[in-house]
Amino acid sequence: MVAVTAGAGGVGLFGGAGGDGGNAGTLYGNGGAGGASGDGNQTGGGPGGNGGNAGLIGNGGNGGAGGNVPTIGFVGYHGGNGGNAGLIGNGGNGGNGGFGPASAGAGGLGGAGGQLLGQTGVDGQ
């Protein structure tokens, strides 16, 4: 079973947060990717969605990117975290943080690799 990828957050005055990726089926399948956050003119789009978790065999979904905040003095939103693998598979990568004039948002954390075999996901920037 393949997990559904989440939709991106809408762009607007505040911008919508990215949705979380769906989890995979129990036995095998990959977690869905988290949706990217929409950009916001004032407070940014919110955090990127988190990647879904994999089944026993499968890879975690990647985290979505955080929203950008163009307004002076604001910080970009953080990226979503990568999903975790099950027994065998790689963790999802963390999403990158959004741009902000004060500072960029933090990157999301990479998901854990499989307990038997697999690599930890790469942290977002």
Q: What is the pLDDT along the chain (125 residues), one digit of tens a residue?
A: 455 555 555 555 555 677 787 888 778 888 888 877 766 655 555 677 888 888 899 999 898 888 888 888 888 888 889 999 999 999 999 999 988 899 888 999 999 999 999 999 999 99
**What pLDDT sits at residue 27?**
81
* pLDDT at res. 33: 85
Q: How many structural domains compose the chain?
A: 1
User: What sign has the CA pseudo-torsion 34, 35, 39, 40?
Assistant: negative
- The vertex-73 CA angle with 42 and 106, nearest 5°, equals 85
Residue 43's pLDDT is what?
57
Q: 99 is in which domain, residue-wise?
A: 1-125
